[in-house]
Amino acid sequence: MEDIIKQVLEFMPQDDITDAAFEGANLVLYTKNKHFFLNCSDTVRKAVYAVKKRIEVRPDPALCMVVEDAEQELRKLIDPEAKIDLIEWDVQRSIVIIEAENPGVVIGKGGEGLHAIKEAISWVPVIKRTPPIRSELIENIRASLYKNSDKRRKFLHETGKRIYNGWKRAHKHEWVRLSYLGSGRQVGRSCLLLQTPESRILLDCGIDVSQEGQEMYPYLDSPDFRLEEIDAIVVSHAHLDHTGFLPYLFKFGYKGPVYCTLPTRDIMTLLQLDTVKIARHEGQEPLYTSKEIEDVVLHTITLDYEEVTDITPDVRITFYNSGHMLGSAMVHLHVGNGLHNILYTADIKYTNTFLLSKAHTKFPRLETVLLEATYGGRDNTLPPMAEQNDIFAGIIKKTLDRNGKLLMPVLGSGRGQEVLAHIHKLVRDGKIEPVPVYVDGMVWDITAIHTAYPEFLNPQMRNQIFHKDDNPFLAEYIRQVGSNKERQKIIESDERCIILATSGMLTGGASVEYLKGLAEQKKNALVFSSYLGPGSYGRRIHDGEKQLAFQKAGGGQDVLNINLEVHKIEITGHADRRELMQFVSHLQPRPKRIMFNHGEQSRCLDIASSMHKKFRVETLAPKNLDAIRLR
């Protein structure tokens, strides 16, 4: 048996323990003694103190009440005020998940409700809040996890064994090495490989959506990379330039863990499934299928912000809020016994937004920072956000005053929900009237995921949602649009409204359909908020083209006159040049080295040179396939 398990068992009444297993870095003990199950907290505390790992005691399945009886018992026991929506039984792990509208009622004062449940049915209750908008995606993910509970229990145990079983590779010297498999002097295909004598860890694994063929994918043919040696993959956030290649690794045999936050797991699954759908729709063979996407889900280990976890024998990670999108994280990696500390920021925002707090800046230790440089150039300072928000509010008001419709093409994730929060504030402050806000396609799905994880929003928004019951995503004027017919009705009606639809650059999807219906009327407005790729309809309209030709379904072309008002709001989920400078100046402690990626070549080089002069630290802008010894 593993040393650490032996060590923990010495604290326990050994005859009562029937099984001990890892769940990732945590240790779970199963007991057949009901008295011990109910009264083990002091014993567990002592063991945790000794081994510094999380330990949980659960009843042996033989001790658990039969599911049918237990369900009846639960319904009797729990106050109807709790409004239970769902009870799910994870038989493999002796856990019952209770989803209720008022979880506090189930938990009770000081947790006495939970204790009563344990005592009555001998299961471990886990209480969740019912998401106010049902998300089919979240339900499918959870169903898949339950269906594969046995497989997952084995996977989590194997992962724990790898973390605690001691060192796999023989070595005398300690070192840390970082290879750039993507995102070196470019935006897209983020993928870094961190190696120590003991660990092979991949940080993100994305694609470059603006490229074609080989240029889309990270350099997995690099001599540094061997898929069968990868111990763990850590994912910063859900965007495809960080996650789009992940299912492909499973297709080729990766079976290890993927660490991310809960919202990241759900949003990346949605985005990956969407790429498969789009590829099929365009008559192309997708890179992977929903089977591999499900495989990713079954191998995720989700972590909260600031939860410290060992992922290999010599690397410990902690996620911190990065302010970029729901669930986005910076990854702090503690290597060896204090040998080296790395912060991989991935994409960050260093301004508070309606939904998120700006990126975290205080760390226990820090030597090397891997920082994004999307807006790293000296001329990449954007106008202040408050000013842009005011301009946007003005455009909405003017458009509605002249009885127009306002179309905002958005990316599915992030910006659309920020806009909903902004509109909510304008309505609440009496600045605009509550006209219908139509949310089309994937924007709606991602909004539903936002309602499921309010704990990942900033404290003000969380407070507003929990204590004042004032949720910007549930305002009564928000309407979901699901079909072409509904779309046509909105276009043809003379009602004033705001429309949020993908794609953000007008490269296809619902936003283009709305454009065709709204472009010719002067009273309407089109507001861009995202990057506009060269050649896209978005870029062409923004550059002033007044006539666009569209392929007609039956052959031939339609010419569309662009008469509506066109605006662009300079708001982004990325830190601009000024924010990047501020972020580094606020970092505690000051790092010794900063390495830039996720930015065009000139921007990476420019900010590397500026920060070297300003902060007197070593700076680097590695190219793809560069490998750097950090220690």
To Zn ion, the closest distance from the beta carbon of 47 in angstroms equals 41
Residue 37 CB contacts under 8 Å (≥ 6 apart), including other chains = 31, 57, 58, 59, 63, 118, 122
At 53, which amino acid appears?
K
- Least separation in angstroms between residue 66's CB and Zn ion is 47
Is the Cβ of residue 352 or residue 521 nearer to Zn ion in the bound state? Answer: 352
Nearer to Zn ion, 57 or 411 (CB): 411
Beta carbon of residue 347, minimum distance to Zn ion (angstroms, whole number): 4
Helix (H) or strand (E) holding 425, with range, is helix 415-428
**Shortest gap between Cβ of 184 and Zn ion (angstroms)?**
17
CA dihedral 185, 189, 192, 193 (to 10 degrees): -130
CB of 36 to Zn ion, least distance (A): 47
Q: Tell me which residue has tokens 């995202």.
A: 530
Q: Which is nearer to Zn ion, 347 or 576 (CB)?
A: 347
Rounded to an integer, what distance in angstroms lies between the CA atom of residue 42 and that of residue 253? 43
Asked if residue 530 lies in contact with residue 542, where contact means CB atoms within 8 angstroms, the answer is: no
- Distance CA(571)–CA(424), nearest Å, equals 18
Q: Which is nearer to Zn ion, 24 or 416 (CB)?
A: 416
H or E, element range at 164: helix 149-164
Name the residue nearer to Zn ion (CB basis): 524 or 530. Answer: 530
What share of residues in the chain are helix, strand, coil (percent, to 5)? Answer: 40, 20, 40
Quote the least distance from Cβ 239 to Zn ion, whole Å.
4
Q: How far apart (Å, rounded) are the C-alpha atoms in residues 72 and 49?
A: 38
Among residues 536, 279, 237, 517, which one has the least CA distance to residue 405?
Answer: 517
Q: Closer to Zn ion at the Cβ: 235 or 512?
A: 235
Q: Judged by CB, which is closer to Zn ion: 347, or 440?
A: 347
Residue number, 322 or 464, with CB nearest to Zn ion: 322
**Structure-token pair, residue 420:** 């909903």
Task: Report d(CA 203, CA 260) in Å as an integer.
Answer: 11
Q: Identify which of residues 295 and 347 has a Cβ nearer to Zn ion in the complex.
A: 347
> Which distant-in-sequence residues (6+ apart) come within 8 Å of 630 by Cβ?
176, 177, 178, 340, 342, 367, 368, 593
Q: How far is the CB of 241 from Zn ion (least distance, A)?
A: 6
Min CB(417)–Zn ion separation in Å: 14
Output 243 or 451, the one with its CB closest to Zn ion: 243
Least CB distance to Zn ion at residue 551 (A): 31
Residues binding Zn ion (CB under 5 A): 239, 347
> By C-beta, is 99 or 266 nearer to Zn ion?
266
Q: Phi then psi for 544, rounded to 5 degrees?
A: 105, 5
Q: How far is the CB of 122 from Zn ion (least distance, A)?
A: 45
Cβ-closest residue to Zn ion? 239
Single out the residue of 160, 284, 304 nearest to residue 231, CA to CA.
160
Q: Are 570 and 382 in contact (CB under 8 A)?
A: yes
State phi, psi for 548 to the nearest 5 degrees. Answer: -125, 140
What is the closest distance, in whole angstroms, from the C-beta atom of residue 209 to Zn ion in the complex?
12
Q: Which region, left, alpha or beta, applies to residue 479 given φ > 0 means left and ψ of -120 to 50 means alpha?
A: beta
